[in-house]
């Protein structure tokens, strides 16, 4: 959360944060400073006993990924619960189509993060299956 508040989320996002090749020296220094700030924020936010996990890591995204690997439960019961949640998402009359699609997309991303990749055709089928009858 600190990373988000400091505006450093781009450094821990799954997509690699890159600096424009034509950037001037001041921009490069600012970029490297913000990158170091993101990594130090991660290191300061963790328990002293866990800091050894990130001693040799110099990229903020890699440091965060290291902790995701250590702490993210990837158990079959968790994947099963997420799959049930994915299959039981309904489009209520108060929902807009975009909010309904967003709920299904988020549930599929949660499953992917847990280690279970849902094919796109299954996601599309799920989106169409639970639409209200007047929309179908």
- For every residue of 13-46, DSSP letters joined together read SSSPP---TT--HHHHHHHHHHHHHHHHHHHHTS
Domain boundaries, the chain: 2-72, 76-130
Give me the mean pLDDT over the 28-56 stretch: 76
In this prediction the pTM is 0.48
Find all residues with CB under 8 Å of 1, minimum gap 6, and list them: none
**pLDDT per residue over 46-55, tens digit each?**
777 777 777 7
Give me the mean pLDDT over the 35-54 stretch: 75
Query: C-alpha 96: how far from its chain's center?
Result: 24
**Helix, strand and coil percent figures for the chain, each rounded to 5:** 65, 0, 35
**pLDDT per residue over 81-119, tens digit each?**
999 999 999 988 888 889 999 999 999 988 887 888 999
Q: How far is CA 73 from CA 18, 31, 78, 135, in A?
A: 30, 33, 7, 38
pLDDT band, residue 70 (cuts 50/70/90): low
Q: Return the percentage of the chain with pLDDT > 70, whole number.
A: 77
Please state, rounded to an integer, the average pLDDT across all residues of the chain.
Answer: 78
CA separation for the pair 56, 104 (Å, rounded):
38
């Amino acid at each position: 959360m600190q990373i988000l508040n400091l505006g450093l989320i781009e450094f821990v996002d799954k997509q690699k944060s890159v600096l424009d090749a034509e950037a001037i020296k001041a921009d490069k220094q600012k970029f490297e400073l913000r990158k170091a700030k993101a990594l130090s924020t991660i290191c300061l936010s963790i328990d002293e006993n866990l800091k050894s996990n990130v001693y040799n890591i110099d990229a903020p995204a890699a440091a965060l990924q290291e902790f995701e690997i250590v702490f993210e439960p990837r158990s079959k019961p968790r994947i099963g619960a997420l799959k049930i949640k994915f299959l039981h998402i309904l489009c209520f009359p108060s929902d807009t189509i975009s909010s309904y699609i967003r709920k299904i997309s988020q549930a599929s991303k949660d499953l992917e993060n847990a280690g279970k990749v849902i094919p796109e055709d299954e996601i599309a089928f799920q989106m169409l299956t639970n639409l209200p009858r007047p929309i179908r």
